[in-house]
Chains A and B, each alone.
Chain A
Amino acid sequence: MTDPNGQPYTPRSGKRFGGPNSPDASGGASAPVARPQSKPVSSALRLDTAGKKRARFRKRGWFIIAAATPLIIAGFKELSGGDVLAMARNFALFGMFGMAAFLIRQGGDAEEAYAMRKFASPPAMPRKMIGSALLGVSLALTAALGWQIDWIQALGLGVLGAGASLLTFGFDPMSAKGEISLSGVTPQMVEEAIREAEEKIEGIERSAADIADRPLRDRLAKITARARDILKRIEQDPSDLRRARKFLKVYLDGALEATRKYADNQHDLGESGMYMKFRSLLDDMQQTFDAQHEKLLVNDQIDLDVEIDVLADRMKHESALR
């Protein structure tokens, strides 16, 4: 281990002490202590682009609300002047800006979820675009009714505002994402299967939270974590979907049902035989899930082996032709 100048690394504390076991000043260390070089945390943060984008979206949403705040002050001013209708109008306009900011932020979250997945359908509602349109309408109405400028100018301002918002926040994803695999599994099939499985896993987690016995809860946490690993594998290689169909349909359903029933009746059952039965069921479940995960991993390996063999044969064949 060397320091930035290329000298053997010596801890400063050793030099300072100067005892018989301390290294001498020339750097002849007795046993240099290895110390990991610290890296700035910002390098990790820099990689979290999704997080940064989310933070930017949120910040910009708040900026929109902050820029519209004079409407609230104007509303109170109108109230003190006795014009309740003008006050209501100003508050409503502020509410429209807030709603637009909220929609854009929701759209940003939906887009992030879309970007994180390998297989995804577009968000059901293009919230970013609706938010931008609402922002334009609010701007035009504020300019025409509050600021009291000409309607044509107000309309122009609204269109410009909506355009600037679209440019800033972008469009919503509009098409489904993912490729059709060679095994004929379509992106929709993968997405649907994974969504259903995730709902079941969440159901198991909700029921597990009601179970009083901690060891059982820990076991269930392990099982759901393994189930998520399996889903991740399927997402990486959709041809695994056919292999894992039984897991998705039968085992997860069984696990959900058993957990739900046990959680509902645990206080009546007490330390009865049912407890032991459920516990052994969880053990079996864990083994099954582990085996399923292993199977998918091994299958990937076999697929890779086959591909390598085919490639090697082909290369041999082509070199023979030359």
Chain B
Amino acid sequence: MNMRLVRTLAFVALMGMIGAAACGTFVSAVPLYSAVMEAY
């Protein structure tokens, strides 16, 4: 398999993980979002 493609996919996955953790932190910091998420 093309190594460059693997690297790019790994980078996209990494961005997803960092983004998810950072956005998760943001969501839990905002009480409104937390309430909505809990109600959901």
- A-side residues, CB < 8 A to B, are 60, 63-64, 67-71, 73-75, 77-78, 81, 86, 90, 93, 97, 135, 139, 142-143, 146-149, 157, 160-161, 164-165, 167-168
Is there an interface contact between A70 and B22, defined as CB atoms closer than 8 Å?
Answer: yes
* A86 neighbours in B (Cβ, 8 Å): 29
How many chain B residues touch A (CB < 8 A): the figure is 21
Q: Which 7 A-B pairs have CB atoms at the shortest separation, nearest pair first?
A: A146-B25, A147-B24, A167-B10, A74-B29, A70-B22, A164-B14, A142-B21
Main secondary structure of the interface of A (DSSP, over half): helix
Give Cα A161–Cα B22 distance, bound, in whole angstroms: 13
Is there an interface contact between B22 and A71, defined as CB atoms closer than 8 Å?
Answer: yes
Number of A-B residue pairs, CB cutoff 8 Å, is: 87
* B13 neighbours in A (Cβ, 8 Å): 160, 164
Is there an interface contact between B29 and A77, defined as CB atoms closer than 8 Å?
Answer: yes
Is there an interface contact between B18 and A146, defined as CB atoms closer than 8 Å?
Answer: no
A143-B10 contact given A77-B30, A78-B29, A86-B29, CB 8 Å threshold: no
* A77 neighbours in B (Cβ, 8 Å): 26, 29-30
Give Cα A146–Cα B27 distance, bound, in whole angstroms: 9
A74-B25 contact given A81-B31, A167-B6, A167-B7, CB 8 Å threshold: yes
Instruction: Tell yes or no: B35 within 8 A of A by CB.
Output: no
* A67 neighbours in B (Cβ, 8 Å): 15, 18-19, 22
Give Cα A81–Cα B11 distance, bound, in whole angstroms: 34
Give Cα A67–Cα B25 distance, bound, in whole angstroms: 12
Q: Closest approach, in angstroms, between the C-beta of B27 and any C-beta of chain A?
A: 8
- Can you list 6 A-B contacts (CB < 8 A)? A74-B22, A93-B25, A142-B25, A146-B25, A164-B11, A168-B11
Is there an interface contact between B18 and A68, defined as CB atoms closer than 8 Å?
Answer: yes
- B-side residues, CB < 8 A to A, are 6-7, 10-11, 13-15, 17-26, 28-31
Is there an interface contact between B7 and A168, defined as CB atoms closer than 8 Å?
Answer: yes
Give Cα A73–Cα B24 distance, bound, in whole angstroms: 12
* B19 neighbours in A (Cβ, 8 Å): 67, 70
Q: Closest approach, in angstroms, between the C-beta of B10 and any C-beta of chain A?
A: 4
Among residues of B, the one whose C-beta sits closest to the C-beta of A71 is B22
Is there an interface contact between A147 and B28, defined as CB atoms closer than 8 Å?
Answer: yes
Is there an interface contact between A143 and B24, defined as CB atoms closer than 8 Å?
Answer: yes
Q: Closest approach, in angstroms, between the C-beta of A135 and any C-beta of chain B?
A: 8
A74-B26 contact given A67-B19, A139-B17, A139-B18, CB 8 Å threshold: yes
- Among A64, A93, A164, residue most surrounded by chain B Cβ atoms (within 10 Å): A164
